[in-house]
A and B are shown apart, each in its own frame.
Chain A
Amino acid sequence: MADPAINEYGIEIRRLYKVFGPKAAELVPLVEGGMSKTELNEKHGHVLGLRDINISMPAGCIQVIMGLSGSGKSTLIRHINRLIDPTSGEVVVGGEDVVKMTPDQLREFRRHKTAMVFQKFALLPHRNVLENTVYGLEVQGVPRAKQVETAAHWLERVGLKGFEQKYPNQLSGGMQQRVGLARALTNDAPILLMDEAFSALDPLIRMDMQTILLDLQKDIRKTIVFITHDLDEALRLGDQIAILRDGEMVQQGTGQDIVMRPADDYISSFVEHVNRGKVIRVETLMAKGPADAALPQLPAGTLLDEAARRIIASGQERFAVVDGEGRPLGTIDMATINRGMFASDAA
């Protein structure tokens, strides 16, 4: 079930444009030529959804797509399983262009390669938790015994054992979204699409769900595309983050990249209130070079928060940063860490 086989389904989005309206295809050249969203709306009455989106999402990683409402993030994720057809561009998944698939191929693709979790849960209200969870397998035509077995496994993993016979209406929002997650995982597809999956939940439950997702991802290694409008959530979950505004890609990179080198004022204003100690890692700020073997060691990848705690506890001023095999990469001291945590121009 939790097949740890190497996931080969990366997602490549290339030159993706989406214009909403009856004559969308004719207007793409204008948009390519640089016509703005407002101008397109005023002159032609068409709405620009996405402009020239290029993202490469590596297999087995969590790619977060962030943006405020109206930024086109939900439109973008729906292009990956083609719930929305692009006006032009390519969406290549595992070497195949989703845009060129016939309806039959697309249905097979959705059944076996993708699973989706929705902001409003979108559970079937007339089916109980178990019947909701088996839905994907039922559609695939998997034998009933196997459906139930797989569903029971994932329901247990998300902490819903004992709730199989409840109806969605009887559950809280957090529990309903666990059903949504179990339903998607039961499908056992290499790609998991999560459209603002935790946005409707209250903050504590949201943290809970993020923890569940991160724990699961250690085993399942799926290619996860996660949409959110919450930067803290993006930084916590994302191996890579892409930020959209008005249908355009503003910045792509790791959480650290975005926090330390915001591409413009728009992103700076987002990043301002972030707890940098939970995003930036020691190797980013360390002084590269040989380290004294006598220094206490910090593994590379330690967050500044944790590093500061260790340094304070040890009473030492300076630490060596070492890689997985214990080879020194450089050194870091408390003053650097403090600067990194509080100054916005530390890098």
Chain B
Amino acid sequence: MSWFTEFPHMSDEALRDLRKVIDDGFREFTRAWGGTFETMFEPLRQFLIQSERLMLATPWPVMLAVVGAIAWFASRSWKIVIGSILTLLIIGYFDMWEDTMRTVSMIFVCTVVAIALGIPIGILMARSNRMQSVMNPILDVMQTMPSFVYLIPVVMLLGIGRVPGVIAVVIYAIPPMIRLTNLGIRLVDKDVLEAADAFGSSSWQKLKNVQMPLALPTIMAGINQTIMMALAMVVIASMIGVQGLGQPVLRAINNQYFTMGMFNGLAIVGIAIIFDRVSQAYGRRLQKHLEIVHG
């Protein structure tokens, strides 16, 4: 009856061998291809370094003015502009300016990569049901797999540093971008699409003139989600050497520095709120033509 009380599992030796085979195989793979991958991701590394250098080299008053201007153009709301600048002033006053700039640069790069990959994948998913049924489980895995688990192979391949950090963050943060692009395009009114067809639109014209503009508010919601999730990964990414607000938090955890952890944590919250309000206000502004309704 031992099979009844104890789950009949693979023998310990077999399991050990299986793990060893996979591990050895992957180790071989990293040894053979690690260099290639590193070269492949070199442009991404350069992008990261340049972006960070730019944000750190820019004098803080200029940076504040730029943030204020972006907030104004996206939201047209003084409340959001003043809120953003005030938050950054407080962060700077508590001597977290440099780390904040590093984190902002990192989030910026991750968001750009997520948009550049996510929108085309989302479009493909919207165009084909087969693509959708293939992508959905992959996206589920990306969202639910504990991030530490896919940090292992990434670190094995690329070592510790910024690039693996970006990859880990993008894997975690890209699913809403893809899902909401797909959803936005699929929700476009069938009647309007039929009209576009009736006037002889090619599929590119339909995408450019009808589907993307009408899906844009939903896509903006995806971008907003992606930014929020990327920020949530800042601390985990700092474990593999990504600089920024995550590292002091990590140090605070290791040494039980309560205040240090709190300050840096609140700084992350602060920039999250800035990103969120600004991008949401922009998304709302895109839908303005829907708001003024004939009486």
Binding site for B on A (CB under 8 A): 81, 83, 107-112, 114-116, 118, 120, 122-126, 135-136, 138-140, 167, 169-172, 187, 193
Contacts and interface: CB of A to CB of B under 8 A. Distances in A.
Interface string B190-212: 01101111111110010001100
A115 B291 CA distance: 29
B106 to A, nearest CB: 33
A111 B200 contact: yes
Contacts, number: 73
A53 to B, nearest CB: 20
B199 A139 contact: yes
Given A124-B210, A126-B214, A139-B205, A115 B290 contact: no
B213 interface: yes
Given A116-B198, A169-B289, 10 more contacts: A81-B198, A83-B197, A114-B198, A115-B198, A122-B189, A125-B214, A125-B290, A140-B200, A167-B292, A169-B294
Given A122-B192, A125-B289, A83 B202 contact: no
A170 B293 contact: yes
Nearest to A171: B294
Contacts of A116: 195, 198-199
Interface of B: 189, 191-192, 194-202, 205, 209-210, 213-214, 289-294
- What's the dominant secondary structure at chain B's contact region? helix
Contacts of B293: 169-170
A139 B199 CA distance: 7
Contacts of B292: 167, 169-170
B163 to A, nearest CB: 38
Contacts of A140: 200
12 contacts: A107-B200, A110-B197, A110-B199, A111-B200, A115-B198, A118-B194, A122-B192, A124-B214, A169-B290, A169-B294, A170-B292, A187-B199
B191 A120 contact: yes
Nearest to A109: B200
B198 A124 contact: no
Contacts of B196: 135
